């Protein structure tokens, strides 16, 4: 099965965070501490995630639910989040 | 007995600022750390037992990785190496009970720094309402730290914490059982472990937030709602502020006249009337707009909506290399750049914030309208263009558009050069919606107002007095053939500048008028009136000025003058506010410099090309 990333998830879809792949982000400097930043705000392997909203232009940024939190992030950032098996 | 030094620390949305506000009430001070834009909030509180406690509210951060200035300053203070701030004796780490998994990581990270620490488990009530149950004594046991539950927005909700702080510094002990591996991942793992142990029930998503977000973040309804809110906000700024502004202006004029009637005609009267009173008036006149705009902004921020507005606008602002949060400050700058620049505080990233401050004066503020109106009425015939539109309206629109397009270009250039840096993630938590607390909103409003009056106000006042002196002295000779201002220092400066302004098509009258016109843009109209020695009140001067200008200025000069006003920072209050908000004279000088350079360049191009076209 193809690896899926958070940026490919549609509104209402639920999945599990499986890991991070910041090499998918073009800007290397930006990618350097992206994983730490994602971890700090609450993205963590094994947590369940749901896409709640998408921005009005190009569906970017997106808002996701993790636990009791809603977190907003750009698709570019979401592209570095690997999803696991769908429930 | 010396006061206990306590520092509050916590992640964004932990309710730390509310806790600070409730603990210190009106006993607080907001300033900047030297040389940086990081805000220093401090206050005092007295405990039941008579202990005085000094509370420092550190910036909201997720970690101490030194990635941002906020993190760097916080780390320096906590470890006691900050150049100005004394090391706190006790840390109070505020964590949101609804989100302990994330916030515990910061607690664990702070614990490694070795200061005595108390954990304030905040918004306990809201978490319980969402079905989240936490075993507080177990949490305290696992962390090896005292844990106190708080409800920051209520005075009764902070009593336990206040009681705990009611003792001498020596009574607090350093935390035990420090783990050596402090990588984000290791801390995360430990935080996860503790969370699973102490969180009795997980609870669900905040229902109200989910319902409100389905409207506020709806791809179609969301933006509509946003623009309705904005429309209402600006309607309020313009219409509600008008009456108090007129009132302030009117009463200062009346006060000036009253003094004029009761004092002998000498320099002192002129100083009080035209220097001091006019100066104070020019500061206070901005207050109604600042108050109304910030009442809206602070309420939206406290309710949690501001993060949603940033979400909606992010894609658009990202195209310019800015963050969604830059939109409201820039839009506010169409009313007045001063509250706009002050509103940039919601932009967390310092480089983005500086960029936004730098381009804010390019938004056509309401003070340019008198200048634009005068020039357009005098020089642009109102003939129809393309059938529907009047030429005057088209010129008006072009002036606004030129400002916006220039701002986009300047922002893009800045982001590639001087404010260049690693791309900043948009990543942010959308907080739960909350009913804004009126007393907290008013407290923060008062801080903004006080900051403006104190820091910007004093600079504006001094500058107004200096300009008064420049335009009055020295007096004109008895056999003067030109208006008085011609012989004054302002006149001398203006005449000296005239050769420089010649390529723009500016005559000596304009060059002189630009000197007192530094005070504020709309002053240009009355300054021109003075230079052309016109008499009467404001409206009469504008009326007769229109005729005078028509007869004495060629069209290219008039167009160049309009172009000049799109860019020129002819507003000391804006520069004073930029100085206060950037906390840097260099950025202020950069702002003035680049705007004058653009003004000069564009006005010259307009003058030369208009001449060429008409030849």
Measure CB to CB from residue A52 to each of B63, B213, B314 and give the nearest one. B213
pLDDT at A43: 93
Tell me if B129 sits within 8 A of B202, measured CB to CB: no
Chain A segment 41-80 residues within 8 A of B by beta carbon are 41-42, 44, 52-61, 63, 65, 67-74, 77
CA B597 to CA B591: how far, in whole Å? 10
Contacts of B188 in chain A (CB under 8 A): 39, 44
- Centre a 10 Å sphere on the Cβ of residue B359 and count the other Cβ atoms it contains: 29
Structure tokens at B53: 């406690």
CA B514 to CA B506: how far, in whole Å? 10
Name the pLDDT band for A16 (thresholds 50, 70, 90): very high
User: Is the Cα dihedral B452, B299, B337, B251 positive or negative?
Assistant: negative
Q: What is the pLDDT of residues B275-334, one digit of tens each?
A: 788 778 877 887 888 888 889 888 998 898 989 999 998 998 888 888 888 888 898 888
User: Is the Cα dihedral B408, B409, B414, B415 positive or negative?
Assistant: positive
Tell me if B107 sits within 8 A of B143, measured CB to CB: yes
Cβ of B425 within 8 Å of Cβ of A74? The answer is yes
Phi, psi at residue B164, to the nearest 5°? -65, -30
Cβ of A68 within 8 Å of Cβ of B206? The answer is yes
Nearest to B112 by CA among B61, B186, B172, B8: B186
Tell me which residue has tokens 């309804």. B221
DSSP-derived secondary structure for B425-485: P--EEEPPP-PPPHHHHHHHHHHHHHHIIIIIHHHHHHHHHHHHHHHH-SPPPTT--S-GG
User: Average pLDDT for residues B26-34, to the nearest whole number?
Assistant: 79
CA B349 to CA B322: how far, in whole Å? 10
Tell me if B122 sits within 8 A of B96, measured CB to CB: yes
Q: Is the pLDDT of residue B346 over 80?
A: no
Which residue would you say has higher pLDDT here, A51 or B130? Answer: A51
Name the pLDDT band for B470 (thresholds 50, 70, 90): confident
Tell me if B162 sits within 8 A of B46, measured CB to CB: no
Nearest to B444 by CA among B21, B58, B15, B12: B21
Measure CB to CB from residue B132 to each of A38, A41, A68 and give the nearest one. A68
Cβ of A72 within 8 Å of Cβ of B311? The answer is yes
Contacts of B67 in chain A (CB under 8 A): 33, 37
Q: Is the pLDDT of residue B536 over 70?
A: no
Instruction: State whether residue A19 sits within 8 Å of chain B by CB.
Output: no
CA B95 to CA B122: how far, in whole Å? 6
CA B542 to CA B375: how far, in whole Å? 10
Nearest to B315 by CA among A81, A62, A65, A79: A62
Average pLDDT of chain A is: 90
Q: What is the pLDDT of residues B190-234, one digit of tens each?
A: 898 999 999 888 777 778 899 999 999 999 999 999 989 988 887
Q: Is the pLDDT of residue A45 over 50?
A: yes
pLDDT at B176: 67
Phi, psi at residue B539, to the nearest 5°? -65, -40
Tell me if B597 sits within 8 A of B368, measured CB to CB: no
CA B43 to CA B443: how far, in whole Å? 13
pLDDT at B44: 93
Q: What is the pLDDT of residues B146-201, one digit of tens each?
A: 999 999 888 888 999 999 988 877 778 777 666 667 788 888 888 989 999 998 88
DSSP-derived secondary structure for B123-149: -HHHHHHTT-EE-HHHHHHHHTS-EEE
With a CB cutoff of 8 Å and minimum separation 6, the contacts of B42 are: B28, B29, B54, B55, B56, B57
Distances in Å between the alpha carbon of B517 and those of B367, B455, B463, B531? 12, 22, 12, 12
Q: Is the pLDDT of residue B113 over 50?
A: yes
pLDDT at A32: 83
Q: Is the pLDDT of residue A54 over 70?
A: yes
Q: What is the pLDDT of residues B576-587, one digit of tens each?
A: 999 988 989 999
pLDDT at A87: 47
Q: What is the pLDDT of residues B412-450, one digit of tens each?
A: 999 888 888 777 788 889 999 989 989 989 998 998 888
What stretches of B144-218 show up as alpha helix (H) in DSSP?
Answer: 159-164, 184-198, 207-216
Q: Is the pLDDT of residue B348 over 80?
A: no
CA B89 to CA A9: how far, in whole Å? 47
Share of chain B above pLDDT 70, in %: 97
- Antiparallel, parallel or unpaired: β A81-83 and A14-20: antiparallel
pLDDT at B177: 61
pLDDT at B180: 64
ipTM: 0.94
CA B77 to CA B41: how far, in whole Å? 13
Tell me if B320 sits within 8 A of B411, measured CB to CB: yes
Most confident of B376-390, B452-466, B483-497: B483-497
Measure CB to CB from residue A27 to each of B219, B324, B423 and give the nearest one. B423
Residue B119's H or E segment, with its range, is strand B117-122
Measure CB to CB from residue B429 to each of A36, A55, A70 and give the nearest one. A70
- Antiparallel, parallel or unpaired: β B90-96 and B117-122: parallel
pLDDT at B561: 95
pLDDT at A81: 95
């Amino acid at each position: 099965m193809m690896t899926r990333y958070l940026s490919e998830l549609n509104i209402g879809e639920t999945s599990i965070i499986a890991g991070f792949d910041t090499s998918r982000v073009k800007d290397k400097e930006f990618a350097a501490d992206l994983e730490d930043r994602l971890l700090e705000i609450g993205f963590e392997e094994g947590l369940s995630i749901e896409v709640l909203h998408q921005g009005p232009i190009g569906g970017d940024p997106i808002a996701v639910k993790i636990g009791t939190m809603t977190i907003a992030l750009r698709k570019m950032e979401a592209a570095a989040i690997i999803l696991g098996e769908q429930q | 007995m010396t006061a206990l030094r306590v520092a509050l620390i916590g992640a964004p949305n932990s309710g730390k600022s509310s806790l600070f506000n409730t603990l210190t009430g009106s006993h607080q001070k907001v300033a900047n750390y030297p040389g940086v834009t990081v805000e220093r909030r401090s206050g005092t509180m007295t405990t039941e037992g008579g202990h005085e406690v000094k509370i420092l509210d550190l910036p909201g951060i997720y970690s101490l990785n030194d990635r941002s200035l906020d993190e760097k300053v916080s780390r320096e203070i906590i470890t006691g190496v900050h150049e100005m701030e004394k090391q706190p004796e006790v840390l109070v780490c505020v964590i949101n009970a609804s989100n302990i998994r994330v916030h515990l990581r910061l607690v664990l990270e702070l614990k490694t720094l070795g200061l005595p620490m108390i954990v304030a488990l905040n918004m306990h009530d809201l978490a319980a309402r969402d079905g989240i149950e936490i075993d507080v004594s177990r949490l305290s046991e696992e962390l090896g730290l005292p844990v106190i539950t708080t409800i920051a927005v209520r005075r009764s909700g902070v009593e336990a914490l206040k009681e705990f702080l009611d003792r001498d510094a020596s009574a607090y002990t350093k935390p035990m059982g420090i783990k050596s591996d402090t990588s984000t991942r290791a801390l995360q793992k430990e935080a996860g472990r503790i969370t699973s142990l102490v969180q009795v029930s997980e609870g669900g998503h905040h229902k109200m937030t989910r319902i409100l977000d389905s409207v506020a973040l709806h791809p179609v309804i969301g933006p509509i709602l946003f623009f309705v809110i904005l429309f209402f906000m600006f309607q309020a700024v313009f219409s509600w502020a008008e009456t108090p502004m007129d009132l302030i202006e009117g009463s200062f004029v009346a006060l000036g006249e009253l003094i004029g009637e009761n004092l002998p005609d000498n320099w002192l009267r002129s100083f009080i009337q035209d220097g001091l009173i006019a100066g104070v008036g020019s500061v206070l006149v901005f207050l109604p707009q600042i108050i109304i705009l910030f009442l809206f902004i602070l309420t939206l921020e406290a309710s949690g909506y501001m993060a949603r507005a940033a979400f909606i606008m992010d894609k658009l602002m990202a195209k310019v290399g800015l963050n969604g949060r830059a939109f409201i400050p820039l839009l506010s700058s169409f009313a007045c750049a001063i509250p706009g620049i002050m509103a940039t505080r919601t932009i967390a990233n310092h480089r983005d914030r500086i960029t936004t401050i730098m381009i804010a004066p390019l938004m056509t503020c309401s003070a340019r309208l008198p200048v634009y109106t005068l020039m357009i009425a005098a020089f642009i015939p109102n003939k129809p263009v393309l059938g529907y539109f009047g030429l005057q309206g088209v010129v008006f629109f072009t002036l606004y558009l030129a400002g916006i397009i220039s701002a986009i270009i300047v922002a893009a250039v800045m982001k590639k050069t001087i404010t260049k840096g690693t791309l900043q993630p948009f990543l942010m938590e959308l907080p739960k919606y909350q009913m804004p607390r009126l007393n907290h909103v008013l407290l923060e409003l008062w801080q903004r107002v006080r900051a403006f009056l104190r820091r910007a106000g004093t600079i504006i006042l001094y500058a107004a007095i200096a300009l008064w002196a420049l335009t009055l002295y020295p007096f004109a000779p008895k056999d003067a053939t030109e208006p008085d201002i011609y012989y004054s220092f302002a006149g001398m400066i203006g005449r000296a500048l005239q050769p420089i302004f010649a390529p723009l098509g500016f005559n000596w009258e304009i060059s002189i008028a630009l000197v007192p016109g530094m005070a504020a843009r709309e002053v240009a109209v009355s300054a021109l009136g003075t230079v052309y020695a016109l008499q009467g009140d404001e409206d009469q001067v504008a009326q007769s000025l229109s005729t005078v200008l028509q007869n004495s200025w060629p069209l290219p000069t008039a167009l160049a003058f309009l172009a000049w006003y799109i860019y020129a920072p002819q507003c000391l209050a804006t520069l004073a506010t930029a100085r206060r908000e950037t906390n840097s004279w260099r950025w202020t000088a950069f702002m003035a410099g680049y705007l004058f350079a653009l003004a000069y360049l564009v006005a010259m191009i307009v003058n030369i090309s208009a001449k060429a076209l008409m030849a």
